[in-house]
Structure 1
Amino acid sequence: MLNLSSFGAFHTLIALVAVACGIVALVRHGTLGTRTGSGLAYVLLTVATSVTGLFIFRHGGFGPPHALAIMTLVALAIGFGAERRAGRSGPAAYVAALAYLITLFFHLIPGLTETGTRLPLGSPAFTGPEDPMLKLCVGIGFAVYLVGAAWQVARLRHARQTPLGAPIS
C-alpha cells in the first residue's frame, strides 16, 4: 500500500515515537536532553532511528538520507557530551540545547519527504525530493527551528540570571 518494507515500517514507527517524545519533552520541560524520561526516550529513539536508517537503501546506495542519519548521530553525540559538561547554564548548556534541537528538525526532513512522496495515495503531495513545494516546507521547518533555537537561548539566558533554587520558566 505505502511501498514500505517491514524494516522500513519499523524504522518509521521508531521515528514517530521519537518525535512524539521530543515534543513532550519540549512542552513539559522546555528542552531536550537525557535528564528527563521523555528527553531520554527521544534521544535513544532518535539514535535507533538514525542507525536503522543507515540500513535502508530505497534509492540505491549511500545518499543524502544516510548523510542526514550520520549528521543526526553527530549532533546527538555533541549534545550528550555538552549536556554532561553543562550545569544549569554556561556555554555547554547552549551547545547541548541547540544540538538536541537540530535533531528534531532533522526528523522533519525525511518525515516530510517520505510522507509527501507517498501520500495521499495515488496523488502524492510531492513529486520527489527535489519538489519545490517540499523544499519550501523544509525551509519553513528550518525557520521554526531558528525560532525554537532563539527561544532556547533566551530561556538559558534567563536561567543564568535566576538565583539558584528558583524555578526556571
Structure 2
Amino acid sequence: MGLSNLGIFHTVIGIIAIISAIISLIKSGKINLDTLAGKIYFYFTLISSLTALGLSSVKGVNPGHILALLIVMLISVAYILYVRKKGNNGYRLIENFFLSFSFFLSLIPTVNETFSRVPVGNPIASGPKDPIIGTTILFIFVLFIIGSILQFRKQKRINKNYITP
C-alpha cells in the first residue's frame, strides 16, 4: 500500500471518526456532540484533517489540503455553536448541517483512497477519475441530501416544541 507512518496514523484515526459518525447518526439521527460517539467524531476528524495537511503525493497545497481545512472550519463552527448556543433553536440546524456536511466531505477522499488501494494489487478503481468513484460519491451525496432534509425536519419539530428555560 505504501503508506508512511503519518499515513497509517491518519487512516486509523479517520476510520475511527467515520465509524463514530455512523454510530451517532444511527443512534441520534445526527452527529450528536452530547454523545461519546459525537465527541469522538469531532476530535478524531480534527486530528485526521490536520494530519492530512502533512500528506501529499505532490509538492505544495493541493485540493486535499483545501478540503481538510474546510472540514476543520465546519466542525469548529459546529462545535462553537454547540458550546455557546445551548438549547434547541435555529443554531442546531446549522450545527447539524455543518457536522453532516463535514462527514460527507470526509467520505470523498475516503472513497477515492480506499477504491484506489483495495484490494491490494487489484484495486477497485484506477484513480480519482474512475467512474465507480464518481458514482459512489454521487450516491453518498444523495444520501447526504436526504439525511440533511430529515435532520432539518426533525430539528424544526424539536425547536417548535422547545420551551426556553
Q: How does the TM-score come out when normalised to structure 2?
A: 0.91
One-letter identity of the residue aligned with 2:99: Y
2:68 match? 69
- Contact conserved, 2:88 with 2:162, CA < 8 A, in 1? no
2:41 match? 42
Long gaps (5+) in structure 1? 165-169
- Contact conserved, 1:22 with 1:42, CA < 8 A, in 2? yes
Q: How does the TM-score come out when normalised to structure 1?
A: 0.89
Q: How does 1:127-138 map to 2 (within 5 A)?
A: 127-138=126-137
d(CA) in 2 for partners of 1:38 and 1:146? 22
Long gaps (5+) in structure 2? none
- Contact conserved, 2:21 with 2:38, CA < 8 A, in 1? yes
- Contact conserved, 1:75 with 1:99, CA < 8 A, in 2? yes
In structure 1, the residue corresponding to 2:117 is in which secondary structure? Answer: coil
- Contact conserved, 2:17 with 2:45, CA < 8 A, in 1? yes
Deviation per CA, 1:84-125, whole angstroms, max 9, x where unpaired? 344443221100000011111112111111111111222221
1:114 match? 113
Q: CA RMSD in A?
A: 1.7
One-letter identity of the residue aligned with 2:146: V
Deviation per CA, 1:17-44, whole angstroms, max 9, x where unpaired? 0111111112222221422211111100
Runs of 4+ residues over 6 Å off in structure 1: none
The CA deviation at 1:133 is: 2.2
d(CA) in 1 for partners of 2:55 and 2:31? 27
In structure 2, the residue corresponding to 1:32 is in which secondary structure? Answer: coil
d(CA) in 2 for partners of 1:163 and 1:35? 17
The CA deviation at 1:82 is: 2.1
Identity of aligned residues (%): 25
- More moved, 70-79 vs 153-162: 153-162
Deviation per CA, 1:43-86, whole angstroms, max 9, x where unpaired? 00000000000000123332111111001001112211222344
The CA deviation at 1:139 is: 1.2
Between the two proteins, the alignment pairs up a number of residues equal to: 164
